[in-house]
A and B are shown apart, each in its own frame.
Chain A
Amino acid sequence: MITASKAKTDSKDRIFFFLSGILLLSIILYSYWISPLVTVAILTSSLRQSTPLALGALCGLICERSGVMNIGIEGQMLLAAFFGFLVNVWTGSLLLGVISGIAAGMLAGIIFALMTVSMKMDQIICGTIVNLLAAGLTGYFYPTGINATGKLKAYSFPFLSELPLVGPVLFRVSPIVFSTIILVFLVHFLLFFTQWGLRTRAVGEYPRAADTMGINANIVRFYNIIIGGFFAGLAGAFLSLEAVGVFERGMTNGRGFIALAVMIFGKWTPIGAWGAALLFGLALAVQTQLQFDQVLSIPHQFTGMLPYLITIIVLAIFIKRNRPPGSLGVPYEKK
């Protein structure tokens, strides 16, 4: 019974998303026909805005699919942005900067995993500790008078970037934006078509059953949190090394939390979360463009709180419709 009704709503949802996708696509094509430059600018900007959200959502869903609620993504991103920037300044290498940003995200993940999985502390408090620690450490060691040494530049693919519309949007992009797209599909494949994915989902839904099958739930959770740290770290590196070029105090601005709403909106699936992140990005980009063209003259404080408002609305509407993993937030203790 349950599966039948679930299948029915699923197919309804699919039709809905399919139709709205077609509608969105035709709007984009139409606006491209009217003014190609503005359309390309909006799409490029929405892709950039969506990148940290999509990466943060990947971190969130890898943790949550195995039953761990990670609200420390914000702090992981902040630490990663900080260390990525510092290493870039010290070594002059953007690549090393990105790598150490990722390492910082994973290190923060290890701390979070030690607290939640090994010490079985309350997961919300653990996330708060990570956020607080990140804010404190980056504030205390905040370097003054350091000059930025550049940021990651966009790369143009030969031939492909010459295509109309798709070319400049998808194939003339900076490296982290592009790798995010690949990572989304990679994680989707891994989560739904590999042994790791099956184990992760089993542990997230019903750890005791997984345990009976010989899967150590706590070990799965431990390394999933660290894998999640990879994505949060990349998101942080994106912020300081690709989007802005310098580190600023509190520069994540709640993106780690918005990413969680994005993840819920995308029903805990990577591709769904990516779609949700793109919608968020599009909303922000359109708003910026309208503001820029002086079509809208809303005070910047109101446009600035748009992402936060959307997050609340998304949460309020979709949390009941989209079902979270079964054992979410409950530490697993062997009987």
Chain B
Amino acid sequence: MIATIRSFIIPVGSVIFASLIGGIVLFLSGSDPIEAYAALLKGAFGSMTSITRTLVKATPLMMNGLAVAFAFKAGLFNIGTQGQFIFGAFAASVAGFFIQGVPPVFHIFLALIAGGIAGGVYGAFQGALKAYSGAHEVITGIMCNYIAINITDYLVNHPFRDTSPGNIVARTPLILETSYLPDIEGIPGGFLISLLSAVLVWWVLKHMVLGFEINTVGAGPDAARYSGMRVQRILLITMLISGTLAGLGGALEIQGVEHRFQPGFHTGLGFEGITIALLGRVHPFGIIPASVLIGAMKAGANMMQFSAGVESEIIDIIQALLLFFVTAEVFFKKMIPGMRWQKGEKLSLRAGWGGKV
């Protein structure tokens, strides 16, 4: 019970502190923080359309948060979710306009699967680099993000460019309507699928042998190896699944919102995934409210810019502060008397460059 309360105190406290400091930044730069936050809230939850917008914004965030959290469990820091997301989105959009003459429901799933596979393969590539060469996944992940941006930029400019008359922008053709994700009872279909993914991730981690193995590797690869687990293979599979989640996120974004792939789409999403995974205490069910929160910030940012005249980049600053407060346990230990940490609650990733996996 106490542990449950505590697992709420840190995220909630982090949100409060990060917004306070964000408010100070707003004040110092000559804006009215109360007006800005009011506009933000109104833009995020003020009406039915804005709530839908919040859920739509939360969808890719949740998928990326889940991807990051899943890799965290094995001690891996998947910062390459951005690249996996982009490849997933691209593959889904290609499947969306290339495959023709299949029934609607079937087409939706085909495109989703294409996105998942593209992201998963790219994630597995980074996992293989980590497992078999020892190259640190943070550096290779960021490099892979740049590579994914470049490759899709090329593909969109040349082989898959929208050649419809009058188009001068580099983008793919619109996907067919048979692959559009429908809204169910007013709730975006993509959001429902991401909720389902959260439950699935929780199930895999809690009730499957693979989940147990992943957790063991995350707790200590040496112990896992001595108990006979094939650590390298588990790392590879972890990154495969993590990449699949991110790629699926990309597919949801294409099929639910954008309906075509355009370069420069969702930059910085990988970092947001990390913030969300940590804000949700690396638990699938914690990630749901965390992604709705960040999604609300993104949904309200436009309104804030429009009616309070505040640059939407303030959101990035608040997110960095959030990440800080969520990780800075020491801070809360000092702030709240009687707050003591139990073993295993402190977050720590595999240290060093990991030459000896």
Contact = CB atoms under 8 A, between A and B. Distances in A.
Interface stretch (A7-15, A32-40, A138-146, A154-162): A138-146
B138 A71 contact: yes
Interface in B11-68: 25, 29
Interface string A252-275: 011001101100100000000000
A257 B143 contact: yes
B317 interface: yes
Given A305-B150, A315-B135, A330-B352, A128 B271 contact: yes
B157 A301 contact: yes
Please classify how large the interface on chain B is, using the bins under 10, 10 to 19, 20 to 34, 35 or more.
35 or more
B49 to A, nearest CB: 27
Contacts of A301: 150-151, 153-154, 157
A120 B146 CA distance: 31
Contacts of A129: 320, 323-324, 327
B236 interface: no
Contact of B151 (A305, A315, A320, A328): A305
Nearest to B331: A119
B317 A315 contact: no
Contacts of B318: 136
Interface string A306-329: 001101100111011001100011
A198 interface: no
Given A129-B320, A305-B150, A330 B29 contact: no
Please classify how large the interface on chain A is, using the bins under 10, 10 to 19, 20 to 34, 35 or more.
35 or more
Contacts of B77: 124
A254 B154 contact: no
A260 B349 CA distance: 19
A140 B136 contact: no
10 contacts: A125-B347, A128-B274, A132-B275, A301-B154, A304-B150, A315-B129, A316-B135, A319-B355, A329-B351, A329-B352
Interface of B: 25, 29, 77, 79, 129, 133-136, 138-140, 142-144, 146-147, 150-151, 153-154, 157-158, 268, 271, 274-275, 278, 311, 313-321, 323-324, 327-331, 347-349, 351-353, 355
Interface of A: 69, 71, 115, 119-126, 128-129, 131-133, 135-137, 139-142, 253-254, 257-258, 260-261, 264, 299, 301-302, 304-305, 308-309, 311-312, 315-317, 319-320, 323-324, 328-330
